Amino acid sequence: MRNGLGSPCGRLLMSAPATSQARGGAAHGLCAFARLLPAALIAAAVLTSPVRGQDGGRSIAEGGSGGGAPACSSCHGQQGEGQPDSGFPRLSGLDRGYLTHQLDSFASGGRKNEIMGPIASALTPEERSAVAAFYAGLSAAGAQTKPSSQSVSAGGQLARLGEWSNGVPPCISCHGPTGAGVGGVFPALAGQNATYIANQLNAWRNGERANDPMGLMAAVAKRLTERQIEEVAAFFETLTPTRPGATP
Amino acid sequence: MSKAPFDPATQAAVVVFIGLAFLVGRTLPWSAPGEEPAAAARATAVEAKAPPQTPAAPQQAKTSQSPPAAPIAQPAAFTPQPETSIPDDDFGKAIRFGESIFQDTKTNAPGYVGNDLRCANCHLDRGRLPNSAPLWAAYVLYPAYRSKNEHVNTFAERLQGCFRFSMNGKAPPLGDPVLVALESYAYFLARGAPTGVKLAGQGYPALKKPESFDFGRGAEVYAQKCAICHGPEGQGQKSASATVFPPLWGPASYNWGAGMAVISNAAAFIKSNMPLGQGGSLSDQEAWDVAAFLDGHERPQDPRFAQTVEATRAKFHDTPMSAYGTTVNGVLLGASSPPSGPAPSR
């Protein structure tokens, strides 16, 4: 476990390193904002206008929505590259169907998160799909990958071979041989930041995330040890993100 | 009892002898002819023969000693060698090559593969997983008589069958580096296992045959539990050019001669191993129904095709466990199969 398991806002604060005080502060502000969101929502509802297509998606990403959702880029980065130190995920180049499903899950509560729950609820279904399309259209290259370290090779072993004696199939048998993801259901993991990956695996273990089809991912995550989570998260962070459609 | 009985000592000796012979017989794949499908063919069920006259399932259920399927693989009595004990010499190189063929068959055995499958698709955990037809359990059951081709098969010949049918490809000639490497890998995994013994975890644990199995019910199971990975049309899914989820029917899947085209084998594999990571979660009935659904679709022609679909059925598929040559969902299966074998252009 990299960060505390408690509230994601707390998680943000705890994980903000000294060098990024300003960012941690900004995140804190946004957390406070998120708590006030229902009120903001009502106030802003009148101003909401329907958003269509990629342009609509871009304007939400960069400037927030009329319904009160803040600019996504404030946390997910200008190019959707995420913020590894804070565990904000990369969104750029992830599959459109997958991103839409996640935003819908945050809104419905199938995936519980104090920050993203209110933000996704502030978006209309149309806006969710527009902003998903926008991020899906960005190049995945914005993500930073880290050089390999020691724990990475153990993580790589788990990713490639699984641990069948404990019922864990290889991660790549669902997420693809290069971690580039498969179709709209199995997300890319290559180049995603390790803090975020570990947080998700823990979220499945403790039931905060229960939106995966057929419980496919929960069945895997619940069999992993904390150490395996650290190692496999570190491994995927070192991989270069590629689009599943692109030939490597 | 008109003749004088044997004296008690002789009687006892005869009883012991018969008993011993029976025990030995049951552990050897080639002895009692009636047991042949239970031992050798099911041994490596991926390409197991179509059962002879009697439906195989009840018989297999009776003779099966495998533990019941469970979400987590049961610890088997035999554990194959760890990777770290592969020797660092030329033999070790052959073992590693065998493992890489097993994992990525088309790349490492080009020319011999005619579909998008890998050995490891049906033999999970690189041929190590119990109840997923592990290589170590198959290796020790050969040579064996197989009624699929009516002669004693060596292990290498058995591997040729996998290429011809399950991989819809071309059998590498005996002595080919591909076969040598695969046999070396299997030998390595089986090192220390008793020869000629059906080990726990061997094959796919047979399922008791239900009253009936049904294509339509299978279609529902498929849509709910399988299509998310294998695609609504059974076509599988790729990431870039690599097949991640194997195609289950159609031109890129196993052909009609493969063991997996036998419904009882597919049902057994599915029950123990699918959905991935959730083996044992389907009911027996669901496993049978969905197996009948998969194997009720067109796939590449049986390479032993004998002039007509009817004749081919009569010769190789005359069992309720094969849908070849029957009409399912309005399609006469076998009548418009894609050709068998690797496409010339590949």
Q: What is the CATH number of the domain that holds A116?
A: 1.10.760.10
Q: Are residues A175 and A205 in the same domain?
A: yes
Helical (H) or strand (E) element with A31: helix A21-45
pTM: 0.81
Joined together, the tokens standing for residue B190 give: 């089986």
Of A165, A167, A176, the CB nearest to B239: A176
The residue of B84, B100, B136, B239 whose CB has the most chain A CBs within 10 angstroms, and thus the best one to mutate to test that interface, is B239
Helical (H) or strand (E) element with B122: helix B119-122
Q: Are residues A114 and A157 in the same domain?
A: no
Domain total of chain A: 2
Residue B202 CB-density burial (10 A; 0-12 exposed, 13-18 middle, 19+ buried): buried
Q: Which of A136, A171, A187 is the last residue of a domain?
A: A136
Please tell me the class of the B88-203 domain.
mainly alpha
Contact A161 B126 (CB under 8 A): yes
Residues of A in Cβ contact (< 8 Å) with B128: 164
> B36 versus B91: which is more confidently predicted?
B91
SS3 A209: strand
Query: For the residues A128-132, what does the mean pLDDT come to?
Result: 97
Joined together, the tokens standing for residue B130 give: 């119990």
Q: Are residues A29 and A124 in the same domain?
A: yes
Q: Are residues A227 and A129 in the same domain?
A: no
* pLDDT at A196 exceeding the cut of 60: yes
Q: Are residues A126 and A201 in the same domain?
A: no
Q: Are residues A126 and A159 in the same domain?
A: no
CATH topology of domain B206-341: Cytochrome Bc1 Complex; Chain D, domain 2 (1.10.760)
Query: For the residues B98-125, what does the mean pLDDT come to?
Result: 97
Query: Domain boundaries in chain B?
Result: 88-203, 206-341
Give residue B98's pLDDT band: very low, low, confident or very high (50, 70, 90).
very high
Contact A182 B244 (CB under 8 A): yes
pLDDT tens track for B249-268: 999 999 999 999 999 999 99
Please name the residue of chain A whose CA is at the shortest distance from the CA of residue B132. A164
Q: Are residues A132 and A173 in the same domain?
A: no
Q: Are residues A63 and A130 in the same domain?
A: yes
Contact B240, A247 (CB under 8 A): yes
Give residue B202's pLDDT band: very low, low, confident or very high (50, 70, 90).
very high
Contact A110, A204 (CB under 8 A): no
Q: Which of A80, A102, A136 is the last residue of a domain?
A: A136
Asked if the structure places residue A243 within a domain, the reply is no
Find the domain containing A121 and state its range: 7-136
Asked if the structure places residue A245 within a domain, the reply is no
* pLDDT at B51 exceeding the cut of 90: no
Asked if the structure places residue A247 within a domain, the reply is no
Of B228, B237, B244, the CB nearest to A214: B228
Q: Are residues A50 and A168 in the same domain?
A: no
> A39 versus A231: which is more confidently predicted?
A231
Indicate the length of chain B as a whole number: 346
A196 vs A204: CA distance, rounded Å: 13
Query: For the residues B226-248, what does the mean pLDDT come to?
Result: 96
Q: Are residues A27 and A54 in the same domain?
A: yes
Q: Would you state the pLDDT for residue A124? A: 97
**B243 closest CA partner among B343, B121, B133:** B121
Matching fold, domains B88-203 and B206-341: yes
A184 touching chain B per CB within 8 A: no
Integer distance in angstroms from the first to the last C-alpha of chain A? Answer: 32
Q: How many of the other CB atoms lie within 10 Å of CB of B232?
A: 10
B4 touching chain A per CB within 8 A: no
Contact A164 B275 (CB under 8 A): no
Joined together, the tokens standing for residue A79 give: 């190019």
Q: Are residues A56 and A128 in the same domain?
A: yes
Residues of A in Cβ contact (< 8 Å) with B75: 165
Helical (H) or strand (E) element with A126: helix A125-137
Asked if the structure places residue A197 within a domain, the reply is yes
Q: Which of A83, A112, A136 is the last residue of a domain?
A: A136
Q: Are residues A83 and A115 in the same domain?
A: yes
Residues linked to residue B328 through DSSP beta bridges, in sequence order: B331
Asked if the structure places residue A244 within a domain, the reply is no
pLDDT tens track for A144-187: 667 767 778 899 999 999 999 999 999 999 999 999 999 999 99
